[in-house]
Amino acid sequence: MKSTLLCTALTSSLLSFNSFAEEPAPVDDSWKIAAELGLLITTGNTESSSIFTKISAAHQKDSWKQKYTFNTLVKKDELTDDDGSTYTEDTANQYALTGQGDYLLGEFSAAFLFGSYTNTEFSSYKQYTTVAAGYSFRAIHDDALSLDLNIGPGFTETETQDGVTESGAIVRGSLALVWDISKNARFEQNVSVESGEANTRTIAESALVSSLNETIKMKFGFALTTDTDVPEGLEKTDTETSATIIVSF
């Protein structure tokens, strides 16, 4: 319930903040949408299947920029019990929603509002909600290379797999690097750190994107999520390796 209220409050804040924004010169306010799909099926000595999906939507109107992402991960493995019988079991089941709104203060600086919600059955935390606000600026601006930095205070609410909930203040920092290696290849690096009294969560995502044509791309990615405080018996680090097709609209 608290997670729903936090996400509702974030959305309301973004809309109300936009209503008070001044009217600068108009820009192209069309939405840019990209859909990703990755599927991996393994047969033989080991049988498993994984499906990864992600939808990204970005929009800019005047001095207001917004970006939203929604992704899911489902994985099923065939396992063998003590008497030799095989059975299929879910080993990953996750979905996550993020949103960020930036109000441009200058050509390379902005005030931002950020929110995220993650729900997963096979990780340290069943639910992880974050709301943050602060200052964003572009540290590197080049024809082939850009680096955006964000920092500000925030709030998290977490629930472990055994139902223990915690909440508290955090400081959230993030970076987003984009390097156009060539006309048809791009490297992306995203890192975020949410540091609080109870836990520090670090998420690092690396990706190599290759354009097949104007609307279709191939993406090879690696993601790492680390929590400093996890229940006993669980790993502090989760990793994901993916190969996906991206279709842009």
Q: What is the fold, at CATH topology level, of the domain defined by 2-21+29-248?
A: Porin (2.40.160)
Q: Considering the chain, what is the average pLDDT of its residues?
A: 86
Residue 20: predicted pLDDT: 41
pLDDT of 33 over the 50 cut: yes
Across residues 98-102, what is the average pLDDT?
97
Domain ranges for the chain: 2-21+29-248
pLDDT tens, residue by residue, 160-179:
888 889 999 999 999 999 99
DSSP calls for the chain: -HHHHHHHHHHHHHHHHHHT----S------EEEEEEEEEEE-SSS-EEEEEEEEEEEEEETTEEEEEEEEEEEEEEEEE-TTS-EEEEEEEEEEEEEEEEEEESSSSEEEEEEEEEEEESSSSEEEEEEEEEEEEEEEEE-SSEEEEEEEEEEEEEEEETTS-EEEEEEEEEEEEEEEE-SSSEEEEEEEEEEEESS-EEEEEEEEEEEESSSSEEEEEEEEEEEESS--TTS-SEEEEEEEEEEEE-
pLDDT by residue (tens digit) across 129-141? Answer: 999 999 999 999 9
Rounded mean pLDDT of 189-206? Answer: 96
Read off the pLDDT band of 240 (50, 70, 90). Answer: confident
**pLDDT (average), residues 14-37:** 62
47 pLDDT above the threshold of 80: no
pLDDT value for 8? 45
